[in-house]
C-alpha cells in the first residue's frame, strides 16, 4: 500500500477514534436529557436542586460504568477503532470519574432526604434499607466499588501481580448486579416505562449483550472450530519459554503482526485466568507461537504446561501493527520479552527502511536474539543491540545514546515500542524530544494502567 494512502487511512481511523472516545463520555449527557424530558428534575425549594444534582451524578455514573463494561467486552469494532491500550486507559479513567459521581449521588440524595424526613444521616440510611432489599444491595454495591477502586490504586503503586488484579476486578460484575435493581425499582424516572426506561434497557442489553457475545460466546466458538492445544514447550537460553499452539486452521485468525491474544490454558492451576501474550512469530500452517518470560505466577507456570493442553483464545486484539503506520520507514524498539511483537513485525516487514533496537541487561538475557539477528539480515534491517544496566534514560548507563543518534531520518519513521511501562515512557519522551510527531509513536506497554 502506498504511504499516502496509508496515511489517509490512519487519519480517518484517528478521527473515528476521537469521535468514539467523545461519544462514550458524552453519552452521560444523553441519559441526563432523557431524565429531564421525563420531568425528573422538578424543584420547589432551593435544596431540591442539590437532590437533582445527586440524581444527575448517579445517572452519569451508571452510564460510565456501562461504558467501562463495553470497553472491555472485546467488541471488534471498538478494538479496531480505539485500540486495546486506549480502550483500557479510557476504561480506567471512566472508573475514577464514575466512583466520584457515585459518592456525590449517595451524599446529595442522602443529605436532602434526611433534611425532609427530619432524620440524621445514619438514621436515613436505615430508612432507605426499610424501602426494600434493592436498597440494601445498592449499599453493598457501593462498598464493593469502593473496594475495587482502593485496591486498584494499591495495584498501581505496589505493582501487584496480574492474577491479583484480575481477581479483584471480577467484583465489579457483582457490584453492577447488586446496584441495577434499585435503579429500576426505586428510580422515579423508570417507573413509568417512558423513553428513559427504554434508553436504559437498550443500554444494558447492548453492554452486557456485547460482553456475552465477545467475552464468552466468541472464544467458545473459536475453541470449537479450531480445537487449539499446546503442541510443544521450548525453553529459551534467556530463561523465557516458547509455547507452540496447534489447531486445524488456527493460523487463519486474521491477526496482524504485532497484535496479541488472550490465552486460557485448560489445565489444573491454569484455567482460571486468561493472560495477554503477543505472537512471537508469524503464524505457520495450523500453528501459533508465543514466548513468555517468568514475570508472574501464570507466566512462570507455562514452562510446565502439559503438551496436549487445550487452549481458549480471545483475539486478535490491539492496533500495534502496520494498520497505524503512516510513514515510509519504521523503527522497532523492544526491551526484554517486549521483543515478541517486534520480532513478528520484523518477520513480516516488506516495505521501507527498518531499524530494530533491542534493549536488555545483557546479551544472555535478550529473548529470541538469535532469531532477531537472522531476520534482520534477511530483511536488510539495521539492528542495534544495547546491553548493560539502565541509566537515567532508556539506554544503558554506559554508552548512553538516543533514537536520533541511532536513526538519521527519524522524522520519516513510525516508531513501535514494546516493554515495561516506565521504560516505554522514556523511549516515547526521547522520540518526542527528537521531533517525532506523537501520531507516529506506537506503544505496547506491559502493565494495567
Domain 227-317: CATH superfamily is: Translation factors (2.40.30.10)
Does position 291 have pLDDT exceeding 90, yes or no? yes
Is 69:211 a contact under the CB 8 Å cutoff? yes
pLDDT tens digits, one per residue of 45-65: 888 888 889 889 988 998 999
Question: Following DSSP, what letter does each residue of 55-103 receive, concatenated?
Answer: HHHHHHHHHHHHHHHHHTTT-HHHHHHH-HHHHHHHHHHHHHHHHHHHH
Domain locations along the chain: 3-131+186-221, 227-317, 322-446
pLDDT tens digits, one per residue of 378-410: 999 999 999 998 877 898 877 778 899 999 999
Does position 425 have pLDDT exceeding 70, yes or no? yes
Is 101:59 a contact under the CB 8 Å cutoff? no
Looking at residue 213, its pLDDT comes to 94
Q: Hey, CA dihedral for 271, 276, 281, 285, is it positive or negative?
A: positive
- How far apart, in whole angstroms, are the C-alpha atoms of residue 438 and residue 411? 11
Looking at residue 139, its pLDDT comes to 83
pTM here is 0.81
Decide which of 119 and 296 is more confident: 119
Bridge-based pairing of strands 229-235 and 441-446 is: unpaired
Percent of the chain with pLDDT over 70: 90
In the beta sheet, which residues pair with residue 289? Answer: 244
Does position 192 have pLDDT exceeding 70, yes or no? no
- What residue has cell string 529470541? 368
Average pLDDT of the chain? 85
Is 243:230 a contact under the CB 8 Å cutoff? yes
Is 271:163 a contact under the CB 8 Å cutoff? no
Cell matching residue 315 = 483475539
Looking at residue 400, its pLDDT comes to 77
Is 247:284 a contact under the CB 8 Å cutoff? no
Give the pLDDT mean for 16-22: 88
Does position 168 have pLDDT exceeding 80, yes or no? no
- What does CATH list as the number for 322-446? 3.40.50.80
- How far apart, in whole angstroms, are the C-alpha atoms of residue 314 and residue 222? 8
Bridge-based pairing of strands 354-360 and 229-235 is: unpaired
Cell matching residue 316 = 486478535
- How far apart, in whole angstroms, are the C-alpha atoms of residue 305 and residue 301? 7
Helix (H, G, I), strand (E, B) or coil at 281: coil
Give the pLDDT mean for 292-299: 70
Amino acid at each position: 500500500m502506498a504511504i499516502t494512502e496509508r496515511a489517509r487511512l490512519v487519519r480517518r481511523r484517528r478521527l473515528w477514534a476521537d469521535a468514539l472516545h467523545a461519544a462514550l463520555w458524552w453519552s452521560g449527557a444523553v441519559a441526563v436529557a432523557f431524565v429531564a424530558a421525563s420531568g425528573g428534575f422538578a424543584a420547589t425549594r432551593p435544596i431540591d436542586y442539590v437532590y437533582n444534582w445527586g440524581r444527575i451524578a448517579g445517572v452519569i455514573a451508571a452510564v460510565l460504568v456501562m461504558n467501562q463494561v463495553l470497553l472491555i467486552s472485546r467488541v471488534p469494532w471498538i478494538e479496531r477503532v480505539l485500540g486495546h491500550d486506549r480502550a483500557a486507559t479510557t476504561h480506567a479513567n471512566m472508573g475514577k470519574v464514575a466512583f466520584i459521581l457515585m459518592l456525590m449521588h449517595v451524599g446529595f440524595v442522602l443529605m436532602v432526604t434526611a433534611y425532609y424526613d427530619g432524620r440524621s444521616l445514619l438514621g436515613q440510611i436505615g430508612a432507605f434499607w426499610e424501602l426494600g432489599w434493592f436498597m440494601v444491595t445498592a449499599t453493598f454495591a457501593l462498598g464493593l466499588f469502593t473496594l475495587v477502586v482502593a485496591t486498584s490504586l494499591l495495584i498501581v503503586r505496589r505493582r501487584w501481580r496480574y492474577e491479583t488484579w484480575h481477581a479483584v476486578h471480577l467484583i465489579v460484575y457483582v457490584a453492577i448486579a447488586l446496584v441495577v435493581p434499585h435503579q429500576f425499582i426505586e428510580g422515579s424516572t423508570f417507573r413509568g416505562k417512558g423513553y428513559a426506561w427504554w434508553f436504559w434497557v437498550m443500554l444494558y442489553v447492548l453492554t452486557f449483550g456485547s460482553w456475552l457475545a465477545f467475552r464468552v460466546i466468541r472464544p467458545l466458538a473459536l475453541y470449537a472450530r479450531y480445537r487449539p492445544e499446546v503442541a510443544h514447550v521450548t525453553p529459551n537460553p534467556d530463561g523465557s519459554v516458547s509455547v507452540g499452539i496447534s489447531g486445524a486452521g488456527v493460523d487463519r485468525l486474521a491477526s496482524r503482526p504485532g497484535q496479541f491474544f488472550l490465552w486460557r490454558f485448560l489445565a489444573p492451576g491454569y484455567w482460571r485466568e486468561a493472560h495477554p501474550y503477543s505472537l512471537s512469530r508469524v503464524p505457520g500452517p495450523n500453528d501459533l507461537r508465543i514466548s513468555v518470560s517468568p514475570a508472574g505466577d501464570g507466566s512462570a507456570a507455562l514452562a510446565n504446561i502439559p503438551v496436549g493442553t487445550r487452549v481458549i483464545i480471545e483475539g486478535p486484539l490491539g492496533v500495534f501493527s502496520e494498520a497505524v503506520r503512516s510513514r515510509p520507514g519504521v523503527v522497532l524498539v523492544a526491551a526484554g520479552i517486549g521483543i515478541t511483537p517486534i520480532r513478528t513485525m520484523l518477520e513480516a516487514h516488506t516495505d521501507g527502511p527498518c531499524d530494530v533496537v533491542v534493549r536488555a541487561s545483557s546479551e544472555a538475557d535478550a529473548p529470541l536474539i538469535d532469531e532477531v539477528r537472522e531476520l534482520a539480515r534477511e530483511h536488510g534491517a539495521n539492528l542495534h543491540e544495547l546491553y548493560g544496566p539502565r541509566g537515567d534514560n532508556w539506554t544503558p548507563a554506559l554508552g548512553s545514546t538516543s533514537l536520533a543518534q541511532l536513526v538519521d531520518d527519524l522524522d520519516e519513521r513510525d516508531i513501535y515500542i514494546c516493554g515495561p511501562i516506565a521504560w516505554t515512557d522514556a523511549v516515547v519522551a526521547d522520540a518526542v524530544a527528537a521531533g517525532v510527531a506523537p501520531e507516529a509513536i506506537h506503544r505496547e506497554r506491559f502493565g494495567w494502567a
